[in-house]
Every structure is written in C-alpha cells, then in structure tokens.
Structure 1
Amino acid sequence: MITRYVALTSVLLSLIFGCKVNNGDTGDYAYIGGEIVNPKNKSIVLYNAKGDVVDSLTLDVNNRFLHKITNLKPGLYSITHGGEYQMILLEPKDSVMFRLNTYDFDESLVFTGDGAKKNNYLIKTYLSNESEAKKLVKYSKMEPEAFNEFIEKRRQDQLDEFQRFLDVNEESEFFKSIIEANINYNNYADKEIYPFAYFGNNKLIHIKDLPENFYAYRSDVDFNINHLSRFFAYNRFLFHYIDNIATHSYYKNHPFHSKFDRHSMDYNKSKLDLVDSIISDETIKNNLLKYKTRDFVSHNHTEAEADEILGYYLTKSTNEEDKKYMQELVSSLKLLRQGNPLPDLAIINYNNTEHYLNSVIEKPTIIYFWSSNSKMQYRNSHYKVRELKSEFPEVDFISINLNKNDDSTWKAIIDNYDFPRENEYKFKDPNKARKTLAVNYLNKAIIVDADAIILHPNVNIYKSDFTDTLGELLQKKHLIAKQ
C-alpha cells in the first residue's frame, strides 16, 4: 500500500514541480505541497523557523495544496492541520511533497521530491526517539554505570547509522547538524531524567554520587541554539537539565537526607534563576521561564504561592504576550481552588443537545478531557476510565472533547471505538472553556462532588497514587464547605 502511495505522490510531484526548473526562478525559495487523507478541515497553517505564520493554505477539491516560499532561510518549518503538528526541514531549492492520513498522522507521513530523503530520515529519528522514550522507565532500573554505558552505546550506534546514510547521500551541513542534535540531545535528556527515576524522591540526594563521567557531555552543550528553539529533543534536554541542576540548590536549603519536594518554592525559584543566568537567547529563555512557571502554578498550590512565583517570573521574562498569558492563567486557577464551585460552561452532548456543565453532575464526578488529534491519548484515557468505573462505581465520569472541528470527526471517534455516548460532550466554546478551566495538559482531570464543588482541580488519572487520592477525597468531601 505504501508503495502505491509513494508512486502516486511521485507522479503528482512531477506534474506540479516538473516545469519549475526552467521557470526563471532565482534566489532562495522552496516549494511545499501535499495531500491530506481524511482531512479534519480545509486549512493548513504554515509556520517559519521562528514559529511565525507564513501563510494559511486551503486544500483543493482533492485535498491537496501547493505553496512556494520565497526568500527562504534554511530551517525547521512546520505545518498544523486539525490540531496536529509536523516539522519539515527546508533548504533553498527544495521541493517537498508529502502525503499523510490524519487517522495515523506520524506513521503515515511519506515525503517525496527534492529534500524528501532528509525529511524521511528526520521522521525516522523522531519515531525512534518516541519509541525509546516509552522504554525509559525500564532502562532507568539499570545501575548508573550500566545505564551510562547503554546510553553512550545507543547514541554512538545512532550516529554511526546516520554516517552510513551520509556515505550514500550528499546532504548539507545544516541537515547534518539537525540530525546530530536530534540524536545527541535526546540521549542527553535521558541522562538528565535518569536520577529522578532511579533514586526517586527519597534518595535523590545521591545524584551527587553518579559516576564522574556521567555528565561529561555537559561541557559541549550550547544553551542558545536559536534554530533549535522549537525542536523537541533540544527542549526536552533543556527542561530536564534545569530540573537536574536545580537539585543542588535544593539540598543547600534542605536537610541532607530530606525527601525531595519538586513543588517547593525555593526549588522552583532556583530553576527560574538558572534559566535567567545560563541562557541568553530570548526565545529559548522566555519559553523555558514560561513553561517552568506554568508547571508550578498548575499544581494545587495556595494562592499566595502562585502569586509569589508569578511575581518572580514577571521580573525575568521579556515576552509581554507570555506575561499576559501567565497572569490570566493564575487568575483562572484562583477560581478553581478546592471548595469553589465549578465554573458553569456550555457543553453539547452526542445528540446535539446543549447543557450546562454543572447541570449534568449528580454525584461525585471526574471530568476528563481529550483531543481528536491525539489518538493514543483519547484511547488510553477512555480505557483507563473503564477500569476506574469498576473500582469506583459511586463516581461518574464525564468525557469532554476539546476540539473546535466539526461534529463528524468527534462522533466518528466515539463510534469507531464504541465509547459510551451518554457521558460524551464537547464544549460549545472550546477556547473559552480551556482558558477558564486552565486545561494546559490533556491528562488533566477535575474532581467535583455531587454539588459540583471542586474537590481537586488538577489530577492525572494515570498517576500511580491517583486511586489513593480519589479515595481520600471521597471520604473527606463532607468536610469541604460550600463557597
């Protein structure tokens, strides 16, 4: 089947691009085109390497599009469609055609044309990284010396495989730097994550006892690579590096063998201090400051703590849009405190009947969210809820889709996976609802009592301690006063 698809796109590509060689084009440009199978709407948004919108493109009657980028600078461009996101490496004179099926976005993506080989290789490394990340919990059970040896061997094997690709494919230095960064920083990130998984909160102090060469690569790290500012592997490394280094400050302020608390104020302030001190690139710095602050305020801290870290963040960020976003987020979270009534938002059920969220709550309820664009997440969340229902028959579960796309996509997923229809809803105004309920993560869930009073504003149903948390809240719910 894939062979037939590649042949089809190759023919289409030759028809579209065949005449461009002699059309008088000069300068730096590239063509990007493609076909979307099972499109979720008729638009594709193209972003440049800085994350700015280049153009909004419209699919034709055959669900295809074509766009010429002029004055092109080499970089990692990206497209979004129906909430899905995909990076594409573009250099001058590239003519990249792709075909993808929205039902299996990454795995169905096939590139053809000039520039196809490097993008297919990039996708291959993405998928490999994703596969390895799922095994990190297992790998983290290794002793430090064995883990270090394993990661270094894996990294070298990946670099050697890439060199074999280069031996038969002449590619630019820019492309080489992108793939090498993807390989190196993804492996470096695993090393930064390792001590948190291996030692756990009770023994994290022993991070200082890791082998001397465990973090030898740090001397070669560049924290200010602007063209990687939106690159997943690079950001994954930076996020966990900051978490790791900040532990040293934590143990300067806490008893030597105390249990590590990742939500402590001084630890999270030290992370912002580190970002501010070691990163000079404004894009990278502001992104890290924003997401590290968001991580802190999104957990169930007191209003005073949220205001304190917000104030600290505002003195360091130089991005006014981010500052406004963070101030609004903290304001929204104040309304979601334990004991407050759940904000009443308009929702629509499978039969297209409009309700208000509070009106459908009749007993203790867990409200969870999903996106049509994340197949693994919506499958896993519904399967997990199926398990929880049998364990907590006294609890209702309300499923809310977050997408703005038409009803047909939402209902097709419900029908295809035979999800129970009676508790499936979507928001009438998804943008307003996500902001009001501070849904920054798909795995967020909200627990309320029978009167729609918030018991917990932000839980993760996948966490190992979730059932204990839910059981304790259900026992204590009569202690929570109505506001």
Structure 2
Amino acid sequence: MFIFRIIFAATLLLTVFGCQFKGGNASEHAYIGGEIINPKNKSLLLYNNKGRIVDSILLDANNRFIYKIENLQPGLHSITHGGEYQMLLLEPNDSLMFRLNTYDFDESLVFTGEGAKKNNYLIKTYLSNEKEAKKLVKYAKMEPEVFNAFVEERRQKQLNEFHKFLEHNDESEFFKSIIEANINYNTYADKEIYPFAYFGNNKLIHIKDLPEDFFAHRKDIDYNASQLSNFFAYNRFLFSHIDNLAIDDYYKNNPYHSKFNRHAMCYNKSKLDLIDSIITEPTIKNNLLKYKAREFISYNQTEEDANALLDYYLEKTTSEEDKTYMKDLVSSLKLLRQGNPLPNIALVNYNDTEHFINSIITKPTIIYFWSSNSKSQYRNSHFMVDKLKRQFPQMDFISINVNDNDDEFWKNIINNYSFSTINEFKFKNSKQARKTLAVNYLNKAIIVNKEGLILHPNANIFSSDFNETLENLLLKKHLIVQQDAL
C-alpha cells in the first residue's frame, strides 16, 4: 500500500508538471521538477556535472518546484536540500520528476518522466552498494582467496542483472558506462579497503602476500575519469587505492616488521606524491590532494607537522579555493592544541536559550557532534554516549547538532528518539563554529578539563581504544579525584 501511494502521488505530480516539460530545443536542455515532503527549508541547490552550483531553486507553497536547465552538459548532476545529497543522471531531452521525503531521503526517492528508468536504476545500485558496504567488516574476516572470489561473483551477478535490464530498455552508452562504473568501482573499493580491515596495523606488511590476482582490477583503472569526479563509488575506490599504493614506500623506509603508522609523515607525503604523479584531471587531483592532506593535518598533534604537510600540499594543488580552505584549517587547529582554552563559541539549547560554551563547562567534558542528515551516526553517537556516561560518571557530555536547518528538524529528532534534552545544543552560527572547531568529521569529539582547557582536540568515541585513551589522559593530568579517594 505504501509503495502504491508513492507511485500514485508521483504520477499525479507528473500530470501537474507534464505540460511544462514540453517544448523548447530538446537537444540543449532538460527539465527537473517534483515535490519534497517535510522540507528542511524552502529551497534546494542544483549542481552541474563539474560540481559547480547552477542555481538555488525555490519551493512553492506546496513544496513543489519545476526548473529548466539550459545548455545542458550530459552527466552526473546533483541536488542538495538541508544537507542531504542526491545524484541525477541527466541527458538532453530528459524531463525528470521526483518525489522524496526528507525523513527517509534515499529510500523514499522515486523518479518518473523521461529519464526516470535510468535514474531509478542508478538509485537501486547505489542503495545496494550502501547496504553491502555496511557488511564489509563482516566480509573482511574471510580469507583473502574467499573474499576475492566472493566480491568478484557479486560484481558479475550485478553486471548480469544490468545487462538483462538493457535487453528491455534502450539506454545511452553514457548511462551504460555510469552504471558499470558504479558496479565495478564499488567492488574495487572493497578490495582496496580489505587489507586494512583484515591485517590491521600490526600485520599490514602482509599485504604483499595477497593472492597474485587480488589487485588485478588495477590494470583497468582510469585515474582521470572526469565524468566520475563527483561519483561516490569512484572516489571511495581512489581514496583507499592511494592509501594502499603508498604502503610500499612506507615499508621501504621502516623496519620490515614494524607496526604500521598511518599518521607517519613519510606515508602521507607519499600519498600526495602518488596523486600528483598518476592523476592529471584537475578536479579529481585537487579533491584527492585536499582530502588526503586534511586527513593528516586534522589528526596530527604538532604544529610543526601540520605546517610541513601544508607546505607540501600547497606545492601540488592548483585550486586557490582549496588553498585558502587548508590554510584556514591549519589556523583553526593551532587554537585547538592540547592545553589551549576551548574557543568560546555561542550555542543554543533545546529551549532556545543562548549560552557560550565555556559557561556550561563545570566538569571534565566530552563535546561530540551530530548531523540531522546522518541517522545512523546520530543514533550511534547518542547510544555510545549513554554507555560512556555509565562508565565515566565523573564526566559531562555536551551534544551539538551541526546543521543550520530550521530548529524544528533538530528538535523532532531529539523528541522522536527520546534523547534527553539536557546538554543538547546546536551552533548559533553553524558555518563559523564548524570552521572554528575544525569539525570536518562527525565522529570528532573534543575533550576538555573542568576549566575548559583542551585535553584532546580530535578524539573519536567509536575508536576501540577510546576508553583506555580517556582513562590515561585523565589520570595523567590528575583532573579527576578517583572515586575511592572521595
């Protein structure tokens, strides 16, 4: 019944918009339109196939919209709304309509109109990949030969299903290449991620002992596939692939059986060197350089190392926008070094009362962050904090929502999941606060003492050694009187 209601509503909307989709030069433009249920604000952003903003599209009084894309360049476009992100495969003469509910963004999305079949298939493969990615930890326990056979069999099954789809649907060569890339690069990404999950840091040297054909896919890689520059599966592959390629250089400069250190300067410089040498397409190259440099700079503990890698990065990137971003990040992190006072940012609590963060810190405190757009993350983070509260009753916990959506969406989540409203806050100025606190990853947590001095600027409450790290940190700093001494 639920699926029927969605299809019926989508058909009704297509009828409403249908007359507007017709006319004009079909070879140069396309239309998109639709309805957003439970919108988080009154507009959505449209990006072109280069990842650049085309326009901000306003919703009408019924939360619907219609938009004509002039001078369309075929490719993967995208829309964002309230922090949610969705790709659209658009070609000339498409008139694509969709309906979605922000409370279940991907799963509720249904396309109709010209171009619908290919986009529905793209969503299908995306959701399938997402589901399989969540199982990777379990799959990574398989022996290498078994894992390799398993993911290859899965890849071939997906390709066979796609070819059956094409027998009954006449689609463009571009569409075929996109779906095949989605299937292939998702499998390739799993293979590149596998060694880190299977061997761990202590035994990563044994990556050289994997079966001879384990990385056979590498001969088929296009490192400069501009049409895939914003494609999740492709970037997921490249991120892990670069990490693996740099391991060879790491063990050339470290003892054969030493524990692998992913935060070593030599290893991270090797990654930037590899990106610079094997990739020439500017968007792909600059994005990889940016994220790999940010990964190191965000987690290192010394100003000297941050500056050293920043300088190394600046020599290689050609994006002036990214250069500014990374320089600002390093400046923010300088203020977040251990022993510095926590920047006194403004927060708003559940009752709409404004506070400066230092005024609410009276005990050693863990500050953690969550987004309304990541259901699994905000559920898991609150669940984990509930456990930590029982294990560390001496600690306080401050929960901060990072979004700049209307307050009702933040509060609805708190109410729907019965989160305690005590110590639930959101940033007064989200954009500036995220920059000041360098919140580039949702799993980031900041630990401070009762005076608001930073003990750890970038902890992860989900890390397997977080409890041990916290206990050692607190005991070392003599910040908590042990319970048996009270």
Question: TM range, normalised to the smaller chain?
Answer: over 0.9
**1:16 corresponds to which residue?**
17
Deviates more, 1:430-439 or 1:3-12: 3-12
**2:270 corresponds to which residue?**
270
Contact 1:300 1:457 in 2 (8 A): no
Contact 2:13 2:34 in 1 (8 A): no
**1:310 corresponds to which residue?**
310
For 1:122 and 1:329, the matched residues in 2 are separated by 35
**2:35 corresponds to which residue?**
35
Task: Map 1:464-475 to 2 at 5 A.
Answer: 464-475=464-475
Amino acid at match of 2:231: F
Contact 2:293 2:310 in 1 (8 A): yes
> Can you list the C-alpha shifts for 1:181-239, whole angstroms capped at 9, x where unaligned?
00000100111111111111111111111111111111111000011001000001001
Using the TM superposition, give the Cα deviation of residue 25 of structure 1 relative to its aligned residue in structure 2, in angstroms. Answer: 3.3
**1:121 corresponds to which residue?**
121
For 1:300 and 1:69, the matched residues in 2 are separated by 44
Is 2:382 aligned against 1:382?
A: yes
Using the TM superposition, give the Cα deviation of residue 10 of structure 1 relative to its aligned residue in structure 2, in angstroms. Answer: 1.3
For 2:21 and 2:244, the matched residues in 1 are separated by 51
For 2:72 and 2:291, the matched residues in 1 are separated by 30
**2:100 corresponds to which residue?**
100
For 2:385 and 2:475, the matched residues in 1 are separated by 20
- Count how many residue pairs are aligned between Structure 1 and Structure 2: 479
TM-score (norm 2): 0.97
SS in 2 for 1:324: helix
**1:351 corresponds to which residue?**
351
For 2:200 and 2:408, the matched residues in 1 are separated by 45
Using the TM superposition, give the Cα deviation of residue 27 of structure 1 relative to its aligned residue in structure 2, in angstroms. Answer: 2.9
**1:337 corresponds to which residue?**
337
Using the TM superposition, give the Cα deviation of residue 32 of structure 1 relative to its aligned residue in structure 2, in angstroms. Answer: 0.3
SS in 2 for 1:421: coil
SS in 2 for 1:86: strand
Contact 1:95 1:114 in 2 (8 A): yes
For 1:212 and 1:312, the matched residues in 2 are separated by 34
Deviates more, 1:467-476 or 1:25-34: 25-34
> Can you list the C-alpha shifts for 1:235-268, whole angstroms capped at 9, x where unaligned?
0100111000000000000011111100000000
Task: Map 1:232-381 to 2 at 5 A.
Answer: 232-381=232-381
SS in 2 for 1:65: strand
**2:137 corresponds to which residue?**
137
Contact 2:263 2:300 in 1 (8 A): no
**1:89 corresponds to which residue?**
89
Contact 2:449 2:479 in 1 (8 A): no
Contact 2:300 2:306 in 1 (8 A): no
SS in 2 for 1:27: coil
SS in 2 for 1:203: helix
Amino acid at match of 1:184: N
Amino acid at match of 1:5: I
Contact 2:286 2:319 in 1 (8 A): yes
For 1:88 and 1:25, the matched residues in 2 are separated by 21
Relative to structure 1, is the Cα distance of residues 114 and 335 closer, same or farther in structure 2, using a 3 angstrom cutoff?
A: same
Contact 2:21 2:31 in 1 (8 A): no
Amino acid at match of 2:6: Y
Amino acid at match of 1:325: Y
> Can you list the C-alpha shifts for 1:334-353, whole angstroms capped at 9, x where unaligned?
11011111010111111111
> Can you list the C-alpha shifts for 1:131-179, whole angstroms capped at 9, x where unaligned?
1111111111111111111111111011011111111111110000000
For 2:92 and 2:360, the matched residues in 1 are separated by 56
**2:483 corresponds to which residue?**
none
> Can you list the C-alpha shifts for 1:36-87, whole angstroms capped at 9, x where unaligned?
0000110111110011111111111110000011211111111010111110
Show structure 1 runs of 5+ residues with no match. Answer: none
> Can you list the C-alpha shifts for 1:64-117, whole angstroms capped at 9, x where unaligned?
000011211111111010111110101111111111100111111111111111
**1:78 corresponds to which residue?**
78
Amino acid at match of 2:9: L
Using the TM superposition, give the Cα deviation of residue 419 of structure 1 relative to its aligned residue in structure 2, in angstroms. Answer: 0.8
Deviates more, 1:276-285 or 1:405-414: 405-414
Is 2:178 aligned against 1:164?
A: no
**2:68 corresponds to which residue?**
68
Using the TM superposition, give the Cα deviation of residue 295 of structure 1 relative to its aligned residue in structure 2, in angstroms. Answer: 0.2
**1:227 corresponds to which residue?**
227
**1:4 corresponds to which residue?**
5
For 1:200 and 1:409, the matched residues in 2 are separated by 39
For 2:477 and 2:341, the matched residues in 1 are separated by 13
SS in 2 for 1:202: helix
SS in 2 for 1:431: helix
For 2:206 and 2:24, the matched residues in 1 are separated by 64
Using the TM superposition, give the Cα deviation of residue 477 of structure 1 relative to its aligned residue in structure 2, in angstroms. Answer: 2.1
Contact 2:26 2:92 in 1 (8 A): no
For 1:97 and 1:153, the matched residues in 2 are separated by 35
For 1:477 and 1:104, the matched residues in 2 are separated by 44
Give the RMSD, CA atoms, in angstroms: 1.2
For 1:199 and 1:346, the matched residues in 2 are separated by 44
Show structure 2 runs of 5+ residues with no match. Answer: 481-486
For 1:423 and 1:12, the matched residues in 2 are separated by 43
Using the TM superposition, give the Cα deviation of residue 479 of structure 1 relative to its aligned residue in structure 2, in angstroms. Answer: 8.0
For 1:9 and 1:157, the matched residues in 2 are separated by 31
Relative to structure 1, is the Cα distance of residues 2 and 252 closer, same or farther in structure 2, using a 3 angstrom cutoff?
A: same
SS in 2 for 1:446: strand
SS in 1 for 2:202: coil
Using the TM superposition, give the Cα deviation of residue 478 of structure 1 relative to its aligned residue in structure 2, in angstroms. Answer: 3.1
Deviates more, 1:194-203 or 1:25-34: 25-34
SS in 2 for 1:331: helix
Deviates more, 1:161-170 or 1:260-269: 161-170
> Can you list the C-alpha shifts for 1:287-342, whole angstroms capped at 9, x where unaligned?
00000000001113211000000000000001011001001101100110111110
**1:180 corresponds to which residue?**
180
Task: Map 1:406-417 to 2 at 5 A.
Answer: 406-417=406-417
Deviates more, 1:345-354 or 1:322-331: 345-354
SS in 1 for 2:299: coil
SS in 1 for 2:222: coil
Contact 1:368 1:400 in 2 (8 A): yes
For 1:26 and 1:221, the matched residues in 2 are separated by 34
For 2:323 and 2:301, the matched residues in 1 are separated by 19
Using the TM superposition, give the Cα deviation of residue 118 of structure 1 relative to its aligned residue in structure 2, in angstroms. Answer: 0.8
For 1:161 and 1:232, the matched residues in 2 are separated by 21
Relative to structure 1, is the Cα distance of residues 52 and 24 closer, same or farther in structure 2, using a 3 angstrom cutoff?
A: closer
